[in-house]
Structure 1
Amino acid sequence: MIASSARLARAAGGSRNWLLGVLRGSSYGTASEASFQVESYKLHKLEQGPSTSVTLSRDDGLKMYRQMQTVRRMETMAGNLYKSKIIRGFCHLYSGQEAVCVGMENAMTPDDSVITAYRAHGWTFMRGVSVQGVLSELTGRVSGCAKGKGGSMHMYGHNFYGGNGIVGAQVPLGAGIAFASKYRGEEAICVTLYGDGAANQGQLYETFNMAKLWNLPCIFVCENNGYGMGTSVDRASASTAYYTRGDYVPGLWIDGMDVLAMREGTRFAKDYALKNGPILIEAVTYRYSGHSMSDPGTSYRPRSEIQEVREKRDPITNFRERLLSSGLATEEELKKIDTEVRKEVETAAEKAKTDQELPLEELYNNIYVDPPQGMKIRGCDPTIMASTR
């Protein structure tokens, strides 16, 4: 085997560390493993944090690249379907924040749980719901992951509890999920996500208190994309060091535009939470779209800011460069992935546009899993009604 090495130097936002890739393979494009340096983590009430030297295998690199590209193209398609009035109601896109859900999910297992806010499409996909399940849910079709009943903000999957529409309300629910895991003696965590706009909600601090009192295996994650609706973090919060806002709960600041930093940070946080109780992560990221589809996203921030982030900090572009410069992938391999992802999303979109809608008689179904004896629900399906007679 012939050893080779490559260096990728890039400054992101004027502050990113130099990146060093050390190859362990035979030739360009066939390296089996590489090591990279990620930006230093900031710590709160922690004596040590995750390693800034991260090792990546070729298989994991290709997988994470595909996952981020899928989320990006899925969200682009969702935006197009909304503009075509095929998707109605609320629609909050995740474009730009892909490194958070992909990095974290690759440090977790299906036994771990996740609950998030209304910018949920990327997390829904990463929790095991297909592109079809996400897009059909957005268009209100039966092939959606909630039969089209939930829409953008209320998607669910295995150990994925949504998608929630009330700002910050999912945080105490996440503590409850973590409590259930601990009560049952499971080696599992609950990742509870919220945005910087929800970070000043009172129920967060009540939840931090209870989680610490009971040392629940919960990772609280502030996805700080810089803006709560149209208000910048500097105008909304007296303290923008969100990773310290848990006070007595330890905190970790992570570059949320770096999928490798997110994966390594989550590994550390999961190990900590299982042994010691709750920990808080601030993932500093950025959204390219507006808060929702009714927000152009340019009235409170200059277009040049968005363009600069796309050019210097984009999570997919930077990760692509790492894969290429380290020899973990070739241009041809990544182009093939791009083509396959585009086809998958386009095929799913066609079905999401043409699949049948849920019939009206289904309106009151699935309200209760196990209705109390004698309870009758108007329009309820016959199987449930039969069990209550």
Structure 2
Amino acid sequence: MPRGSSKSSPTRAELNLSGISESEFSCHCCYDILVNPTTLTCGHNFCRHCLAQWWVSSRKNECPECREKWQGFPKINILLRDATDKYFREEVERRKVEIQANSKISRSLLAFQSYGDHLNQPRTIPTRGTNSFFSGVLTALTFVAALVLVYHWSSSGVEQHVLIRKPISLWTPEDVVSWLELLGPWAQLYKEAFQQENVNGRLLLMLGEEELLRSPYNITNQAHRRAVLAELDRAETLGIKPPQNLWEYKVAHCRMSVFLVYGLKRSPRLTIFYMYLFDYSESFLPFLHTCCPAVPDIEQSVESKYLDKQVAPSWQQWAEFLVQYFLIPYQLITAFAWAWLDVHYWTSRIIIIDTLLLFMLEVTTLVELWVIARLRTLPIAMWDHLCAISHGFLFTIIWPFFPEFLCSCYFYWALYFSPIITFSSVVRRVMYPAI
């Protein structure tokens, strides 16, 4: 017969007479005629799109029927494909039209092929050992750098953070003067009076509004007096000097700071909700007021900042906070870091960069779930995420038994070096969205 001539597909009767059974050319997944048949290492045959949909939904490199793992990347069986095209031409053509019209199947095939391209790419890399070597060197260098930073900050901050560790009842008059100086430049007006009265920690806790108004303190400015009383109330509640920056908070709450750094990176929504439930006054209220500040009053003094962090948020603040909490939680962390830019110059910038990378990682994950039709795997992904978050809660339970030096190492690692890992994850997710 000439090459350009056409021939209709054999009928069922002709196939039965020739000894060919339709079941021999059926997919083991959809039980229909094979389209682009793909043979696995176990010998089972599947339609290409059926195997792609199975892989997208399960993310397992195993046979859908016998669960044996396949080796390499499955390819189309050319001989079997030619046989199905010859004996079942009309059926195959009909099914190909249906497959092309189904966008969900097309996305599954695209994701499956991208996965195969990624598997084949490492073969072009000349030496894998070289990458492992440099990866090990980078890990060792970052670990050494973390140890140096921990040692430097731990040794240099002993004197600076002495009031954070020392109970107020044990404060000396010099400690009280140091505490007063930390309130702001306006507190210098009253330092001499505290020095003359030789006020120590016990006497400081006994001071009230009437005592501060009378001689020798003479704090007649209402804003100044309220700021001093607000800080005294917080100090009496905590038993130590209230933390005023990141490093003081870490000294006062070493284990909690490790949990917050870990939790806000991995699951900001759950961590912020945890702060609301169990650390409302100490962490949540200052966080909310910093991220979503109230509209400033023109007549409001600078000293009122000691009171604003503890007042109940307005409904406008709650509305702004909740919108960002549910839609863009990393924006809250970015706003918080931006507010502390003058105090923590480089640290705030590193946190902002890290939150931008984490936001990109979250967006690419959502796009992958929606576009590549992995919604069926959402429960599995959520379970894996909850398991990862549980590790952070586990730290708060078992880490009090670990030396504080180890907690500091993990804190600085998560704060300064994990952005490198986040950047690597973003690059991998953007380049290989189906992986």
TM range (shorter): under 0.3
Q: Comparing both structures, which one devotes a greater share of its residues to helix?
A: 2
| TM-score normalised according to structure 2 size | 0.19
| TM-score normalised according to structure 1 size | 0.21
Q: Which fold has the larger relative contact order, with Cα–Cα distance below 8 Å and residues 6 or more apart in sequence?
A: 1
Q: Comparing both structures, which one devotes a greater share of its residues to strand?
A: 1
